[in-house]
Every structure is written in C-alpha cells, then in structure tokens.
A and B are shown apart, each in its own frame.
Chain A
Amino acid sequence: MGCVTGCHIAQLNVGVLQAPLDSPQLADFVANLGHVNAIADAAPGFVWRLCDADSDNATSIRPRGPDLLVNMSVWQSLESLRAFVYRNGPHLDMLRRRREFFRSLGAAHQVLWWIPSGHIPDLDEAFSRLDLLRRDGPGPAAFTFREPFPPPATAAATSTTAPQL
C-alpha cells in the first residue's frame, strides 16, 4: 500500500508574538483571524485545522512557551495549500504584515510533510517534523514550499512519525 494516490499534506507554522495577543499591536491580527480561518475552511482542498477545545482557532494552544503561537492544518494537495497560503488576498495580506505581529525567528517557522489521507496529526508529530527540518534542511519527511518533495511511494515511508536517524 503506497501513498501516491492517498496522500494528504500537513503543515505546521509557528510564530513568536511581538506583544500579547490582547495588546493594540496585535489587534488587527485578532480581528482578522476569524475571517481568514473561515476562508481556509471553505477553500478547495481544505481537510482540517487545529482548534482548541472551546474556540474556532488555536491561539490558546502554547506547546512551547507562552509567546509561541501554533497553527496546523491538513490539505488534499500541496497546490491547494499553496493557493490558500500565498494566492488568497486576505491571508496574503496578513502574511505581508506578519512582522507587526510576529518576530523573525532565525530558524524555519513552517514545515510541510506528507500523511496518509484520513490521518490527523498531533503537535508532537508536527514538532518532530519541524525539528527535523531545522536540523537537516528540506527532505522527503519534512520540507518547505520553496523546496518541496513528492509524496512517498512505499508503505514504510508513510509512517506518521519522523524517521529515527
């Protein structure tokens, strides 16, 4: 059983807040969050995104420190994910303004990886992929929009944890 016809793509992106989420500096980010998330939910190829237990977003999920926001989602294809991230007006506008809201990290802030369709990743899996990307650079198990890799073709390669090296 391979992944070639049954793969989805998962993504994690993280950001260190420039100021608290309820500060004036973050006001526009917060004000646009619901609208942009709704666009994602309705976008072609969207499958799932991380939300906390009692809201429509993931901003209260802080797995690595009080200032680090996380966002994770699953899409049917790299093309559909790319179209939402970089070719959707409202989302692109938030990316344009990202330095108002988030510090430059000096390390990769976004990772993509292939998963079997129907799988929903957890944050442990996501961070293991981000750590792999930061350690080794882009590769088949953890990559970027700029250096993408194709879905794996063998059953062994669709393991949902990062390869142990």
Chain B
Amino acid sequence: MTEISVIAALDDPVRLRLYDYVCGQDHEVSRDEAAAAAGIQRAMAAFHLDKLAAAGLLSVTFRRPAGRSGPGAGRPAKLYCRSSGEHQVSVPPRDYQAAAEILAEVAEVAGAEPAVQRVARRRGSQAGRAARAANLGASAADLVATTLAAQGYQPRLDGSVIRLRNCPFHALADQHPPLICGMNLAFVQGLLEAVTASGMAARFDPQPGDCCVVIEPF
C-alpha cells in the first residue's frame, strides 16, 4: 500500500475514533471493547478494525481469555493493538526529520543540551499559558492532559500517574536519546510550571513503547 492509501484508511470518523482508542490503550483490544468504546455495533467495529489491520495501522493477535484452554474453551479472541512503524504524507514533499537529525547532531557536538532544555522549558510554559488562556481544562491536570494530547503524546491515567503512550519524536529520540528525551522532559516541566500544577512532577520512567516521561504526584 502506498503511504497515501495507508493514511486514507483513516478517512472515516468512526474508524479514526476506533484507531485512536486502540492506540491509547496499554493492552490489546477486542472487538467488543472497541465497539463499546466507540458506541457502535460489534460487526461495524470488526469491519473497521480489519480495514485498519489491512492497512498495517493495527496489528492482530489471537488469544484465549485467561484461564481457558483445551477443547471447549472456545475460539481465541481477535485482539488489536497499535502497529510499529510510522506513516507520513507531506504535500509538497517536506522532510523536517532530515533537518532535525542535522540539528540534533550539531547540538550534541556543540554540547548545547542545556540551551536546548532551556528553550524547550520556555516553550512548554508558553503552551501551558496558552492552554490556561483558552480555558482548555478545569484543573491543572486537565490542562496538562489536553495540551499533551493536542501535541500527540496520547496521555492516559495509570492510577495516579499520567503515562504518555506515544513519543512524538520517536525516531529522533531513538537516535539521540539524552538530547531529545532531555528536551522532552524540559518541555513537560515547563508546561507543569505554567499551569501551576503544584503537587505534580515530571520524571523519566520509560516503559516499552511509551514516551519516557511520566507525570505523577509528589
């Protein structure tokens, strides 16, 4: 499939809602769960989920419910999760990743990590102030979650900890972890300061597949 076809597979509001739901979970999602989350019939959820799988946007596994095995245990459930890999279409062709790679390497060679973190913190603060001004949440935690969601981090609550299911800079962070993860942490810290989220702090706690930053009460 071309990149355009893959992206076009999301061009349906219900399908996009299902995709976002599956990607935001920390477990593989069944058709029933997805249907309930999207408020649609199971058969329609199955149709859309399989379209997303055919496009390579979701991965499929088959698993029996816990505690069941052997004859009579029933068919394994079909489960969906976010697939690895990225898809991008830009028209006209734009390649900000290529520029980012060069700039990241320059920043490392020049030892500019402290300056990168200062700028990132300032931008996080700006994002926080803008969220407050636009009333994007009733509480500091809401402002944080809304702002991070808008930036693509896919925040989700895990007990009292906010985990981020997606790293918006994944490929770049993979190549330059101390620089990019440090930049990322500084951005989130700036955001927390600007929404006066006292009682919440950001720190590193990388979990497989997630962004390295978590936000938790302290």
Asked if residues B212 and A99 are in contact (CB atoms below 8 Å), the reply is no
Interface residues in B186-206 (C-beta closer than 8 Å to A): 203-206
Asked if A92 and B175 make an inter-chain contact with CB atoms under 8 angstroms apart, the answer reads: no
Does more than half of chain A's interface fall in helix, strand or loop, or is it mixed? helix
Contact A95 B178 (CB under 8 A): yes
Number of A-B contacts (CB under 8 A): 46
Provide the B133-154 mask, 1 if CB < 8 A to any CB of A, else 0. 0000000000000000000000
Given contacts A87-B212, A95-B178, A146-B175, contact A103 B204 (CB under 8 A): no
A96 to B114, CA, bound (A): 9
The DSSP consensus for interface residues of chain B is helix
B185 at the interface (CB under 8 A from A): yes
Q: Residue B114 contacts which of A85, A99, A106 (CB distance < 8 angstroms)?
A: A99
A87-B212, A98-B178, A104-B108 known; A92+B204 contact, CB < 8 A: yes
CB distance from B101 to the nearest CB of A (A): 10
- Which residues of the partner chain A approach B182 to less than 8 Å between Cβ atoms? 95-97
Q: Which of B110, B111, B114, B206 contacts A89 (CB 8 A)?
A: B206
Q: Contact between B206 and A103 (Cβ–Cβ < 8 Å)?
A: no
Write out the residue numbers on chain B whose beta carbons fall within 8 Å of the beta carbon of A103. Answer: 111
Q: Report the interface size class on chain A.
A: 10 to 19
Most buried by B among A92, A93, A95, A106: A92
In A71-110, the 8 Å CB interface with B consists of 85-90, 92-93, 95-100, 103-104, 106
Q: How many residues of B contact A (CB 8 A)?
A: 18
Residue of A nearest to B207 (CB): A87
User: Shortest Cβ distance from B84 into chain A, in angstroms?
Assistant: 15
In this complex, what residue of A is CB-closest to B208? Answer: A87
Contact B177 A86 (CB under 8 A): yes
Q: Is B113 an interface residue (CB 8 A)?
A: yes
Once the chains are docked, how many angstroms separate the CA of A37 from the CA of B159? 30
- A98-B113, A103-B111, A104-B111 given; A89·B178 CB < 8 A: no
Minimal beta-carbon separation of A84 from chain B (angstroms): 11
Query: In the complex, A146→B185 CA distance in Å?
Result: 22
Q: Which residue of the partner chain A has the closest CB to B107? A: A104
Residues of B within 8 A of A93 (CB): 203-204
Task: Tell me whether B109 is interfacial, beta carbon within 8 Å.
Answer: yes
Residues of B within 8 A of A99 (CB): 111, 113-114
Cβ–Cβ contact B206 & A96, under 8 A: no
CB under 8 Å from chain A, chain B span 148-188: 175, 177-178, 181-182, 185
- Measured CB to CB, the nearest residue on chain B to A82 is B177
Tell me the residues in window 106-139 of chain B with beta carbons closer than 8 Å to chain A beta carbons: 108-111, 113-114, 117
Shortest Cβ distance from residue B197 to the other chain A in the assembled complex, whole angstroms: 20
Instruction: List residues of chain B with CB under 8 Å of any chain A CB.
Output: 108-111, 113-114, 117, 175, 177-178, 181-182, 185, 203-206, 212
